[in-house]
Structures are given as C-alpha cells and as structure tokens.
Amino acid sequence: MRATIITIGDEILIGQIVDTNSVSIARKLNAIGIAIGEKLSIGDSREQIVDTLRRTLQSSDVIIITGGLGPTKDDITKHTLAEFFGSKLVYNPAEGEHVRQLLERRGIQFTELNRNQAMLPECCTVLHNAHGTAPGMLFNHEGKVIVSLPGVPFEMEHLMDDEVIPRLKAQFTLNDIVHRTIITRGIPESILAERIEEWEDALPDYLHLAYLPAPNIVRLRLSAYNVDKSEAEHEIDRQIEKLRKIIGDNIVGMEGATVESLVHDILIERGLKLAVAESCTGGTISAKFTAMAGASQYFMAGVTSYSNEAKRDILGVDFTNIECFGAVSEVVALEMAEGVRRVAGADYAIATTGIAGPGGGTRQKPVGTVWIAIATPNGSYAVMRNSGTDRSQIISRASAYAIEMLYEELKRL
C-alpha cells in the first residue's frame, strides 16, 4: 500500500514556509501501515496539479493533497479537482450553514466568497471541517483514494484523524509498518558503521537499517514494512539487545529521548528540584524543561537575569565581581548558579552567561563566548564554551550544552 503526499502552494516553493503538514500526514499514514512513496510540493497552477495527479495516480493507492482551498482567487485546487474528475460544483447546504455559523460566532459577516466555500464537487465525499471554513474532499477513483485537505495545520490534523484515517482503515486491508530509532552518542558514524558491521549484515532481510547523523549523535533506525507488528517489534527488541552488547555504553535511549527528557526523568525519580539562571540563553533552557508535562514536580524557577542589576538584585551576584571580571566570567556564572539555587530552594541549578551577539564581543571575549555553571548540593563548577558566531546558534548550542552538563552530573548519582 503506497501513498503520495502533494502539498500545493507557491509559499512552499519559494521557501516562505516550512512544510510541516507532510511530516504529520506521513506519520499518520505510517502508523496505519501505509508507506509514502513520494512527497511533492507544487505551485498553485492548474496544469501542474493535473500533470502531477495523472502521474502519481499510476504509482499510488492513496494520494493526500493539502492546500489551495481558501476563499480567494489564488486558491484553485477545488476547481481543478472537480475538472479532473469530470464533476460539477454543487452547493452543500449543511456545509454552507456551518460556515455561516462559524463566522457568526467570530463576529464575521458571511459573504459570497464564503458561500463559495460550500460549493463542492458532486462526485466527492465531503469531509466536514469542524474547525474551519474549507471542507475536505475524498474522491474514489478506480480503486484509489484521493483526498484534498485545507493547508491550515490544525484543520488538516483534525480532518486526517477524524475523517481520513478511519475511512482508509475501512477501505483497505493494511499490514503494519514498524520504525524504531536508537540514539547513540560518542561514536562517529564511520567508526560506528565498522563496529556494528557484523550485526548489520546479520539483520533479517525485512529489517532495514538507516544511519541518521547529527552533531555528537548518530541515530540508528530499524524499519520493517508490510509486516505483523508484534512479530516485528519482538525481532527488533531482540536485535537491540544484541546491539547493546556491542555499543551499550554509547546508547542514550530510544527516539524521543532528548537530553532534557532524560534529566526530567532523573529529577522526578529522585525527587530533586531544579532552578535555572540564564543570561545569554534568555529563557530557552527554562522553556525546554517547562515544555514537558510534569515539569512542575521539579522545576522551581528560572531567572533570565539579562541586566547586571537583575543579576545582583534577584540572584545576589556581587556587583564588584561584575565590574572586575565582567558579566561573562567564571565567577559570575558560578554566583548566578549558586544564587538561583538558593533563591529558588533547588537542589541543582544551571547558569549561563555569554555574548550572543551580534554586538558586545571583544578580542578577549568574542561573540559566542559562554560560561556555563552547575551548582549542586556538593559545590559548583563552571566551564567556558565558544558556541559559534550566529545569535540563534549560540543560544541553542549553549542551552544544549548546559543541559548536557547537568545530565552528566546527574548520571553520577
């Protein structure tokens, strides 16, 4: 069972938006056993939509299209699909009434343009969009299913979950797809490949291994298509056990395990409390922890002490030290970590202070210089890192490094 995902919109082709819709659709289809053969993005052009449909219908059982369903002149998907399937547009009173009520609740007047949104191809199954004004459409064509959904992510998600997935499951007999990703740290890709070569070569034919390298991390994904889920899961478990015997020390965890989630788990398990003092990272570290459900069990407080006065008044940093050594210094980082640990009543604390740029760098402390401190019940320490020259990169790298340092500290418990 093979699907194609087509996203329509010039905004994708010019790089104005990042296409996350196709990511979400791919995951949802994989979860019910439908593999994606191809993903395409094309413009708001009648010819291109028709050519693409004609070509991809030859190699796909399912085609999911998003975008181009709005009320304005640049949106042509609906008319093109009606034409492609030789169907005329007819007014759907139920959808028209829904759009009218939806707009009324928002205090918006119902216009001719909105009425047109309820004009739908006669030959399609209308997919009711409870959260928006553009309904989805499902076409059955020579045993294949073609679905058109609005491009607004929230509306697309609901239509996929509530309307599309149940219909695909009902219409097709689907086998399972299983993916499992193992996260390794500390071995470069080429060395890792050599170390696990024998294991890789001995994998059963239906298990496919992929290497996904990133700075300091290589993810190994095992995929099995068109299988029985529980059997494949069982085999993957067995293979991971074998892999642990070869590179066990380098396996951090399974997909989804970020370093902050590992810290989160340890803190909850041990009943320990955390506080964070941030200067250059500006709240990013706090936001990473508090994004996780359950963070309130250990996250006491974060202080983004951007000004020198805030460092002194909120965290108790000695102003003389700021004047003598500068705000970006070992002693200030340590005082920030110790200060927030004390003020927030935490067991552990992280602090960052650095020069995120583009201004503020000097020869001795260039842009990218960041001091990171960890305060623990048994004392504190700090390290200096240079994290590049781009502001957003400096912020994200320094945040990641600070959380890694805390993880290393907590692992010793």
Q: Which of 72, 132, 68, 69 is nearest to 106 (CA)?
A: 132
Query: Under the criterion CB under 8 A, does residue 13 sit at the interface with a copy of itself?
Result: yes
Of 243-251, 261-269, 350-358, 369-377, the segment contacting a copy of itself by CB under 8 A is 350-358
Nearer to a copy of itself, 140 or 360 (CB): 360
For residue 138, the cross-strand partners are 125, 147
Whole-angstrom Cα distance, residue 120 to residue 279? Answer: 55
- Binding mask 361-390 vs a copy of itself (x if CB under 8 A, - otherwise)? ------------------------------
- Where in 125-164 is the site for a copy of itself (CB under 8 A)? 133, 152
- Binding mask 247-286 vs a copy of itself (x if CB under 8 A, - otherwise)? --------x-------------------xx-x-xxxxxxx
Nearer to a copy of itself, 109 or 364 (CB): 109
Nearer to a copy of itself, 94 or 113 (CB): 113
Which pairing describes strands 369-376 and 379-386: parallel, antiparallel, or unpaired? antiparallel
Query: Under the criterion CB under 8 A, does residue 170 sit at the interface with a copy of itself?
Result: no
Instruction: Give the one residue of 226, 377, 392, 408 binding a copy of itself; rule: CB under 8 A.
Output: 392
- Give me the least distance between CB of 125 and a copy of itself, in Å please: 25
Other C-beta atoms lying within 10 Å of the C-beta of residue 309: 12
CB 207 within 8 A of CB 223: yes
- Give me the least distance between CB of 323 and a copy of itself, in Å please: 17
- Give me the least distance between CB of 86 and a copy of itself, in Å please: 25
Cis-peptide, bond into residue 358, ω within 30° of zero = yes
Of 82-90, 213-221, 238-246, 400-408, the segment contacting a copy of itself by CB under 8 A is 213-221
Query: Under the criterion CB under 8 A, does residue 36 sit at the interface with a copy of itself?
Result: yes
Token couple for 76: 């042509």
Whole-angstrom Cα distance, residue 404 to residue 74? Answer: 48
Query: Under the criterion CB under 8 A, does residue 84 sit at the interface with a copy of itself?
Result: no
- Where in 294-313 is the site for a copy of itself (CB under 8 A)? 294-296, 299-307, 309-310, 313
- Give me the least distance between CB of 300 and a copy of itself, in Å please: 4
Of 41-49, 78-86, 89-97, 164-172, the segment contacting a copy of itself by CB under 8 A is 41-49
Query: Under the criterion CB under 8 A, does residue 165 sit at the interface with a copy of itself?
Result: no
- Give me the least distance between CB of 170 and a copy of itself, in Å please: 23
Token couple for 276: 């964070």
Query: Under the criterion CB under 8 A, does residue 343 sit at the interface with a copy of itself?
Result: yes
Whole-angstrom Cα distance, residue 402 to residue 130? Answer: 43
Residue 74: how many CA atoms within 13 Å on its side-chain side? 7
Nearer to a copy of itself, 2 or 123 (CB): 2
Of 80-88, 183-191, 234-242, 329-337, the segment contacting a copy of itself by CB under 8 A is 183-191
Q: Fill in the DSSP letter of residue 250.
A: G
- Give me the least distance between CB of 384 and a copy of itself, in Å please: 19
- Give me the least distance between CB of 118 and a copy of itself, in Å please: 12
Cis-peptide, bond into residue 153, ω within 30° of zero = no
- Give me the least distance between CB of 145 and a copy of itself, in Å please: 19
Instruction: Give the one residue of 48, 125, 171, 386 binding a copy of itself; rule: CB under 8 A.
Output: 48
- Where in 190-209 is the site for a copy of itself (CB under 8 A)? 190-191, 193-194, 200, 208-209
- Give me the least distance between CB of 123 and a copy of itself, in Å please: 26
Token couple for 231: 């059997």
Residue 140: how many CA atoms within 13 Å on its side-chain side? 7
Whole-angstrom Cα distance, residue 148 to residue 139? Answer: 8
Nearer to a copy of itself, 251 or 344 (CB): 344
CA-CA distances (angstroms) from residue 379 to 17, 112, 382? 47, 70, 11
Ramachandran region of residue 379, left (φ > 0), alpha (ψ -120 to 50) or beta? left
Beta strands per DSSP E along 311-397: 348-354, 369-376, 379-386
Largest CA distance in the chain: 79
User: How many angstroms separate the first and last alpha carbons of the chain?
Assistant: 49
